[in-house]
Amino acid sequence: MATTRRIEIYDTTLRDGTQGEGFNLSLQDKLLIAQKLDELGVDYVEGGFPLSNPKDAAFFREIRTVRLKHAKVSAFGMTRRRGMKAEDDPGMKSLLDAQTPVVTIVGKTSDFHVKKVLNVSLEENLEMIKDTVRLMTSAGRKVVYDAELFFDTYRDNPQYALRTLHAALEAGATVLCLCDTLGGSMPEFVESTVAAVLKETGAMIGVHTHNDSDVATANALAGVRGGAKHVQGTINGVGERCGNMDLIPLIANLKVKYGYDCLREDSLRKLTEVSRYVYETANINLVPSRPYVGSSAFAHKGGMHVHAVQKDASTYEHINPEAVGNTRKILISEMSGASNITAKLGNKFDIATDKAALRKVLETVQDLENAGYQFEAAEGSFELLLRKQIGRHRPFFKLDHYRVIIQRLHNAEPVAEATLKLRIGDQVEHRVAEGDGPVNSLDGAIRKALMKHYPQIEQVRLTDYKVRVINSREETAAAVRVIIECRRERADGSKENFGTIGVSANIIDASWQALLDAYEYHLIHCEEERHPESAVRAEGVAAGA
């Protein structure tokens, strides 16, 4: 369904998104994300409510010094207070002082809220909307009017719901944005309501949907089908309760599935980058299953699927992952076939046609998974396993021993201390390090031991640490699976994320295995990146064995 009609994208991650549980941003975070959104090509970046807190007020001061190429910054506020002139209201003054080209005003649509929350008459609420919008437009601001609870009110009292819109429109509002504030509306109702409002007002209609019924994106698309040209949401769907409508799949669906014009022509490839940037800036773990941009969005595990994808990716992928800046991912597990191994690393190690080697690796993976290993999120450990099986693994160091003790004094925080002895070539490194916990102290001791010999160890950092009990019936004696996620800097300055794994009834030893793999994986790749003409070939001796 091709069309040349443009859809405006309005991002409210910095305001509505921060109302979500666990999603917090510093002033610097907000400024950086605003610039990232501008690079993506969104039309509006809502910065916050300047009267609500000093951080939002500071954001509007600082963002004026940032040269944005495309996006217009919007300040958010409510209608004037009852019984007060708009020009005398502190909230109105803060909106004007923000000096943004756009102001977004949220007004009451619900007659019930008007009477019970604002405690004013229905007519007074209409005057509050008019006065507020008129003050902003007279000051040269473009006004986006957000009609709170519109869909619920329109269902019960359409006459008054429409009167509130006409009040904003008559006062000069440019966009009338219909809000599904409770997130309870269904797509067919959203579509028909938007169409009816468009026919009634002839205005530019927007939609702002929430995900409480898990149809926020569907509702936004329904609104567009009904005639909306403006859509509000957040990156990754962050927000209060179940979240806002996620702009990432919305944008991809509008451009790829429906052929709408939104953002810029080259912006689609930035979706994955922006999604992960917001997660990382907010210090929130990435959600692998996010449509289009998640690390699992184009991941293939079943051998039959991988075999087909190798021949033609469209057999099991609805779009090319590169179109949205993502990559295909081949998973290795006991369900895998030789096709998985070939697709993942077969060409790199020239074993694509070596059936015996592939079978040997696959059998090893199956045996290890039976013991509790999982290589889906531990591609670093899987590559090392493959190297060992085909004689292309070089141990950079060998463990003599390690010891970790934890001391806790009365009314004091516990302190962990790790002692480590490694053999590196013909030298012995005996190091001690303290840390907040046993893994932190062990990691510190490893780094101290390796730094003199391999300074490039500074270019790899742990980003996540996960522990899972394997056989819970054994209670505290159960084996555990430790997965470590790391980020390393390549020789060309680019970054690579990878995972490693360890399994043991001893959580410290499981952590040691994962740490060992992480450092060996990094060091092997550092060596090969600097000397690509000489791939490492050595006896398959496992370090630390």
Per-residue pLDDT for 326 more than 50?
A: yes
Q: Indicate the helix (H) or strand (E) that contains 231.
A: strand 230-233
What pLDDT is stored for residue 73 in this prediction? 98
Task: Please report the sign of the dihedral spanned by the C-alpha atoms of residue 96, residue 98, residue 104, residue 105.
Answer: negative
Per-residue pLDDT for 1 more than 60?
A: no
The answer to whether 244 and 16 are in contact (CB under 8 A) is yes
State mean pLDDT over 445-467: 92
State mean pLDDT over 312-339: 72
What pLDDT is stored for residue 540 in this prediction? 34
In order, the DSSP letters of 385-436 are HHHHHTTB---S-EEEEEEEEEE--TTS--EEEEEEEEEETTEEEEEEEEES
Residue 114 has φ and ψ, to the nearest 5°, of -60, -45
What pLDDT is stored for residue 348 in this prediction? 67
What pLDDT is stored for residue 295 in this prediction? 80
Question: How crowded is the C-beta side of 253, counted as CA atoms within 13 Å?
Answer: 16
- Position 279: which residue type? Y
> With respect to CATH, is domain 8-264 assigned 2.60.40.10?
no
What's the CA gap between 145 and 109, in Å, rounded?
Answer: 11
- Position 40: which residue type? L
Span 80-120, pLDDT tens digits: 999 899 999 999 999 999 999 999 999 999 999 999 889 99
pLDDT band at 332 (very low <50, low <70, confident <90, very high): low
* DSSP letter assigned to residue 541: P
State mean pLDDT over 226-243: 97
The answer to whether 416 and 435 are in contact (CB under 8 A) is yes
Per-residue pLDDT for 38 more than 70?
A: yes
pLDDT band at 533 (very low <50, low <70, confident <90, very high): low
- Roughly what angle, to the nearest 10 degrees, separates helices 158-170 and 122-138? 30
**Length of the chain, in residues:** 545
pLDDT band at 338 (very low <50, low <70, confident <90, very high): low
pLDDT band at 261 (very low <50, low <70, confident <90, very high): very high
| Cβ-based neighbour number of residue 205 at 10 Å | 23
Span 385-400, pLDDT tens digits: 888 888 888 889 999 9
To 5 degrees, how large is the angle CA 269–CA 233–CA 72?
Answer: 75
Per-residue pLDDT for 168 more than 80?
A: yes
In DSSP terms, which residues pair with 146 in a beta bridge? Answer: 106, 177
Quote the tokens at residue 543.
Answer: 């370090």
Span 466-521, pLDDT tens digits: 888 887 677 777 788 899 989 999 888 888 888 899 999 999 999 999 999 999 99
| Cβ-based neighbour number of residue 111 at 10 Å | 18
What's the CA gap between 424 and 236, in Å, rounded?
Answer: 45
What's the CA gap between 364 and 504, in Å, rounded?
Answer: 17
SS3 247: helix
State mean pLDDT over 201-224: 98
Per-residue pLDDT for 403 more than 50?
A: yes
Q: What share of the chain in percent tops pLDDT 90? A: 63
Q: Which residue has the tokens 């191994």?
A: 341
Quote the tokens at residue 436.
Answer: 């907040």
* DSSP letter assigned to residue 254: I
Q: Where are the beta strands (DSSP E) in 51-189?
A: 72-78, 102-108, 142-148, 175-180
* DSSP letter assigned to residue 291: T
In order, the DSSP letters of 293-336 are TSTTTTEE-SHHHHHHHHH-GGGT-SS-GGGGT---EE--STT-
What pLDDT is stored for residue 542 in this prediction? 33
What's the CA gap between 305 and 312, in Å, rounded?
Answer: 10
Q: Name the average pLDDT for the chain.
A: 88
What pLDDT is stored for residue 544 in this prediction? 34
Task: Please report the sign of the dihedral spanned by the C-alpha atoms of residue 521, residue 388, residue 483, residue 400.
Answer: negative
pLDDT band at 344 (very low <50, low <70, confident <90, very high): low
The better pLDDT of the pair 472, 461 is held by 461
What pLDDT is stored for residue 333 in this prediction? 55
State mean pLDDT over 532-540: 46
Characterise 141 by phi-psi region: left (phi > 0), alpha (psi -120 to 50), beta (else). beta
Of 76, 78, 21, 70, the closest CA to residue 49 belongs to 76
pTM for the model stands at 0.71
Per-residue pLDDT for 308 more than 70?
A: yes
What's the CA gap between 103 and 84, in Å, rounded?
Answer: 20
Per-residue pLDDT for 524 more than 80?
A: yes
On the 0-12 / 13-18 / 19+ scale of CB atoms within 10 A, 476 is exposed
- The architecture in CATH of the region 397-453 reads 2-Layer Sandwich (3.30)
| Cβ-based neighbour number of residue 309 at 10 Å | 19
Of 19, 24, 133, 117, the closest CA to residue 77 belongs to 133
Give the residue extent of every domain in the chain.
Answer: 8-264, 299-371, 397-453
SS3 203: coil
The answer to whether 313 and 290 are in contact (CB under 8 A) is no
